[in-house]
Amino acid sequence: MGFGPFFFGVNIIMLNKRADKLELLRIAEAVALEKSIDKELIISSMETGIAKAAKSKFGQDNEIEVQINRDSGDIGIYRKLVIVEKPENINTEISLQQAQKLSDENKDKNIGDTILQALPTFDFGRIAAQTAKQVISTSVREAERERQYNDFIDKKETILSGIVKRLEFGNVIVDLGRTEAIIQKNEMIPRENIKAGDRIKAYCYDVRREPRGQQIFLSRAHPKFMEKLFIQEVPEIYDGLIEIISSSRDPGSRAKICVKAIDNSLDPVGACVGMRGSRVQAVVNELQGEKIDIVNWSEDPAVVVSNALSPAEIQRVNVDLENKKLDVILTEENLSKAIGRRGQNVRLATKLMNFEINIMTDQEDSERRQTEFKEKTENFVKNLELDETLGQLLVAEGFSSIDDIKDSSVEALIKIEGIEEDTAKELIDRAKESYQKDQEEISKKIKDLGLESELIEHEGLTPGMLVTLGEQKILTLNDFADLASDELTGGYDIIKGDRIKIKGYLEDFALSKNEADNLIMSAREKVYKD
């Protein structure tokens, strides 16, 4: 429904006729009803459109106001004039005497007041009519978009259902009834066969004001889409008896969802699966056959990762809560199962838990431990001038670095079998001397590398960290602020289907992701404070 040829065609010149005036109101009412927007807004936009057309008739210098009577449809066209002592522009100003002569209503007006001077009705030309049409159409479109936004903003993060209207360059346009939404190509399930006329469900992940194009954005690839489907299919989740902790998806292939029972009498996995798999199958069907692993949540990350990496059988898990790292040790035959095709299984488990998961065989773990033991022993032997046996003894008792010995007490050291009081004191003294020597060397390195004083003084960065950053040509606070936390802590990336370890600049300093984020954000606050 548009405004019809009447309002915008040649017959617009007949708006002074009673029938035409009423038709104008009927048009406004019809458009308001069809577009589900306020009739008053339609009439106001008509007033604005006619005012713009009138400017082309009476001159752009004039300030025109149009008033349409809401009952009769009478159109009044007026020029706004400001009362001044000596008018300089007759299009915008008028003397008090002239104003009072125009109308008895102006008798009480004073200097500085505004009056309305009635202008004669005129014949709209083609250009003027087109101008009015453009203004009104724009106003209606904006009002319609605002209405759509208000209608759907509350439906964000919910599942919406509609009919596929058309496909545009791989994007799917969905008819939701009174408006349209878009599912962008990258938000579709890969290889999904969608055609016009199909009924489709999707997750509404965003509703925003846009100057043009679609305002409502849907997704079938979002992990939340799967979660919302489970809420629909599993009454226990809907009622709050079972909680969805997290989820991860490889759309169209495989997904994982972690659930927790609020009521300990419930089996959360069994409830999500349903009788003969009916509940989970309903979700699988909607996701075009996507395989779903349902993981039982536990406070122990080792238990969760064992469930998440199923069907692989885990031997043991080393948990580093501070750095959110998990070392998963398993047999050679279970290695491929844990990793999955192209690293899919471990990648989804990593996203599900938000932990860095390192998968290794028992042999690899043993070799890693031996290497670490050897490196720590050599460090003690070299820097503290110890024999290898004493160095191994210290490592075996849990001392990892010279700092550990420096900060230790004589009482703690003599508890180790074979270490007497004199030996303990000597160890602590040598550790302090070694530490002091290292600090002097580090200070010299920092100076030689040319690090900026602001970076050196940045809270949280140790001298060792500064040296490492300097060796990577990160010399200023600006350089540091431009980094991402992953560049500091390291992580994993999938390259050509293989899971590749990416080493971080400060990975050797056991920096957690949260600590890295805080360091970078505090640097950015200083750099961009102005």
Instruction: Say if residue 124 is in the same domain as residue 183.
Output: no
Instruction: Say if residue 162 is in the same domain as residue 242.
Output: no
pLDDT in tens, 242-256: 999 999 999 989 999
Q: Is the pLDDT of residue 225 over 70?
A: yes
Residue 367 CB: number of other CB atoms within 10 A?
12
Average pLDDT over residues 51-57: 78
Instruction: Assign 2 a pLDDT band (cuts: 50, 70, 90).
Output: very low
Domain that holds residue 234: 227-358
Q: Round the average pLDDT of the chain to a whole number and report it.
A: 82
pLDDT at 222: 92
Looking at the structure of the chain, the number of domains it has is 4
Instruction: Say if residue 136 is in the same domain as residue 190.
Output: no
Q: Among residues 221, 253, 268, which one ends one of the domains?
A: 221
Chain centroid to Cα 336, Å, comes to 33
Instruction: Assign 343 a pLDDT band (cuts: 50, 70, 90).
Output: confident
Q: Are 461 and 519 in contact (CB under 8 A)?
A: yes
Q: What is the CATH number of the domain that holds 472?
A: 1.10.150.20
With respect to residue 518, please indicate whether it lies within any of the assigned structural domains: yes
Instruction: Say if residue 211 is in the same domain as residue 233.
Output: no
Instruction: Assign 212 a pLDDT band (cuts: 50, 70, 90).
Output: low
Average pLDDT over residues 503-511: 80
Q: List the beta strands (DSSP E) in 351-468.
A: 356-361
Q: What is the CATH number of the domain that holds 314?
A: 3.30.300.20
Average pLDDT over residues 107-123: 79
With respect to residue 442, please indicate whether it lies within any of the assigned structural domains: no
More confident residue, 122 or 478: 478
Q: What is the CA radius of gyration of the chain?
A: 37
Q: Are 246 and 354 in contact (CB under 8 A)?
A: yes
**DSSP 8-state symbol, 189:** P
Average pLDDT over residues 412-416: 83
* Cα–Cα distance, 74 to 85 (Å, whole number): 34
With respect to residue 382, please indicate whether it lies within any of the assigned structural domains: no
With respect to residue 424, please indicate whether it lies within any of the assigned structural domains: no
Token couple for 452: 């900026």
Instruction: Say if residue 142 is in the same domain as residue 17.
Output: yes
* Cα–Cα distance, 432 to 435 (Å, whole number): 5
Q: Classify burial at 289, counting beta carbons within 10 Å of its beta carbon; exposed 0-12, middle 13-18, buried 19 or more.
A: exposed
Whole-model pTM: value is 0.60
Token couple for 488: 């500091």
Distances (CA, A) of 487 to 4, 464, 507: 61, 17, 9
Token couple for 233: 């299919």
Q: What percent of the chain has pLDDT over 90?
A: 22
pLDDT at 4: 44
Helix axes 18-35, 126-152, angle to 10 degrees: 30
pLDDT at 154: 81
pLDDT at 163: 93
Instruction: Say if residue 120 is in the same domain as residue 214.
Output: no
Q: Among residues 333, 358, 383, which one ends one of the domains?
A: 358
With respect to residue 380, please indicate whether it lies within any of the assigned structural domains: no
* Cα–Cα distance, 236 to 244 (Å, whole number): 11
Instruction: Say if residue 16 is in the same domain as residue 112.
Output: yes
Average pLDDT over residues 253-261: 93
Instruction: Assign 16 a pLDDT band (cuts: 50, 70, 90).
Output: very low
Average pLDDT over residues 83-93: 83
Token couple for 253: 């292939």
Instruction: Assign 127 a pLDDT band (cuts: 50, 70, 90).
Output: low
User: What are the DSSP calls for 219-275, one per residue?
Assistant: ESSSHHHHHHHHHHH-HHHHTTSEEEEEEEEETTTEEEEEEEESSTTS-HHHHHH-G
Instruction: Say if residue 196 is in the same domain as residue 261.
Output: no
Instruction: Say if residue 305 is in the same domain as residue 286.
Output: yes
Q: Would you give the end-to-end CA distance of the chain in angstroms?
A: 53
* Cα–Cα distance, 334 to 360 (Å, whole number): 10
pLDDT at 9: 37
Instruction: Say if residue 187 is in the same domain as residue 61.
Output: no
Q: What is the CATH number of the domain that holds 108?
A: 3.30.1480.10
SS (H, E, C) 319-377: EECCCCEEEEEECHHHHHHHHCHHHHHHHHHHHHHCCEEEEEEHHHHHHHHHHHHHHHH
Distances (CA, A) of 336 to 36, 132, 332, 341: 58, 69, 8, 8
Residue with tokens 């846009």, as numbered in its chain: 210
Q: Is the pLDDT of residue 263 over 70?
A: yes
* Cα–Cα distance, 125 to 23 (Å, whole number): 20
Instruction: Say if residue 140 is in the same domain as residue 173.
Output: no
Average pLDDT over residues 418-447: 84
With respect to residue 314, please indicate whether it lies within any of the assigned structural domains: yes
Average pLDDT over residues 402-419: 83
Instruction: Assign 265 a pLDDT band (cuts: 50, 70, 90).
Output: confident
Instruction: Say if residue 49 is in the same domain as residue 140.
Output: yes
pLDDT in tens, 443-484: 888 888 888 888 888 888 888 888 888 888 888 888 888 888
pLDDT in tens, 133-190: 676 677 777 777 777 777 778 888 899 999 999 998 889 999 988 788 899 999 999 8
* Cα–Cα distance, 469 to 508 (Å, whole number): 12
Residues 6+ apart with CB under 8 A from 378: 391
| Contacts within 8 Å (CB) and 24+ apart, 335-341 | 335/359, 335/361, 337/309, 337/311, 337/312, 338/309, 338/312, 338/314, 339/499, 340/254
Q: Among residues 147, 165, 184, which one ends one of the domains?
A: 147
With respect to residue 341, please indicate whether it lies within any of the assigned structural domains: yes
Instruction: Assign 10 a pLDDT band (cuts: 50, 70, 90).
Output: very low
Virtual CA dihedral for 365, 366, 372, 378, nearest 10 degrees? -160
With respect to residue 124, please indicate whether it lies within any of the assigned structural domains: yes
Query: Does a cis peptide bond (omega within 30 degrees of 0) precede residue 301?
Result: no
Q: What is the CATH number of the domain that holds 170?
A: 2.40.50.140
